Amino acid sequence: MHILHIDSAVTGEDSVSRKLTADIVARLTSKNPGATVTYRDLNEGVPAIDTEWYRGVRLAPENPTAEQQKRIDASDAYLKELQDADVLVLASPIYNFGITAQVKNWIDQITRAGITFRYSEAGPEGLLKGKRAIIVYSAAGTPKGSELDFASGYLRHILGFNGITDVEFVVADRLAMDRDAGLARAQEALDNLAA
């Protein structure tokens, strides 16, 4: 088993999602002693896609410019980490009712036509099949599944669009209202995770 462990919170050591992703990875590796882990902290910066990215990555010129090659190399690195993973453990703290800019930038980097999905006569088909995703959803005030939650449905959809349909959530929400209860719900979900 190879695990891709992704954090994204800007809160550093105070982050609930960082603690929970670490707990999940520890649980998975303890139950699967041969497991390997690739760690990426999106808070260190994920470039947003831009015109040079489009010209280099999407148009795939035979002789890319130096700037285009830089975009290609970065996007390919994110993509390879995901392709090599059997399990994705993704921290998704909720900021302003949605996913963080860092997570969105990462999604834009790895969602690539002809590589992670393709269009057919039957419609889009995800190509990253056979992977499992465990998403840590942490929020101060946004209950998962509520009309205020613009993150969890999107994450389930975009991962499925890319072929990852085995998606589970470990939820620590409403932390500003009752932190202990939110953490208890997350611990219960963690305890029930199959390793």
Q: Which of 18, 194, 193, 187 is nearest to 102 (CA)?
A: 18
8 in a labelled binding site: no
Rounded to 10°, the helix 179-191/16-31 angle is 20
Rounded to 10°, the helix 66-84/101-110 angle is 90
Check whether 56 has a pLDDT greater than 80: yes
Average pLDDT over residues 169-190: 93
Identify the band that residue 194 occupies on the pLDDT scale cut at 50, 70 and 90. Answer: confident
Helices within the chain (DSSP H only): 16-31, 51-53, 66-84, 101-110, 152-161, 179-191
Average pLDDT over residues 31-46: 96
10 in a labelled binding site: no
Counting the structural domains of the chain, the total is: 1
Check whether 43 has a pLDDT greater than 90: yes
Identify the band that residue 126 occupies on the pLDDT scale cut at 50, 70 and 90. Answer: very high
Check whether 27 has a pLDDT greater than 90: yes
What is the reported pLDDT for 57? 95
Q: Mean pLDDT over all residues of the chain? A: 95
Q: Using CA atoms, how far apart are residues 109 and 103, in angstroms rounded to an integer?
A: 10
120 in a labelled binding site: no
Average pLDDT over residues 37-56: 96
Question: What sign for the dihedral angle of Cα 124, 128, 129, 134?
Answer: negative
What is the reported pLDDT for 3? 98
Where b means 16+ CB within 10 Å and e means fewer, 96-112 reads eebbbebbbbbbbbbbb
Check whether 90 has a pLDDT greater than 80: yes
Range of the domain at 112: 2-191
What is the reported pLDDT for 71? 95
Q: Using CA atoms, how far apart are residues 92 and 193, in angstroms rounded to an integer?
A: 17
* Per-residue pLDDT reduced to its tens digit, 8-23: 999 988 999 999 999 9
- For position 80, which CATH number holds? 3.40.50.360
Q: Using CA atoms, how far apart are residues 170 and 177, in angstroms rounded to an integer?
A: 18
Check whether 117 has a pLDDT greater than 90: yes
First-last CA distance in the chain: 11
Backbone angles phi, psi at 135, to 5 degrees: -110, 130
Q: Using CA atoms, how far apart are residues 147 and 24, in angstroms rounded to an integer?
A: 28
- pTM beyond cutoff 0.85: yes
Average pLDDT over residues 91-107: 97
Identify the band that residue 174 occupies on the pLDDT scale cut at 50, 70 and 90. Answer: very high
DSSP letters for 42-84: GGG--PPP-HHHIIIIIS--SS--HHHHHHHHHHHHHHHHHHH
What is the reported pLDDT for 38? 98
Q: Which amino acid is at 49?
A: I
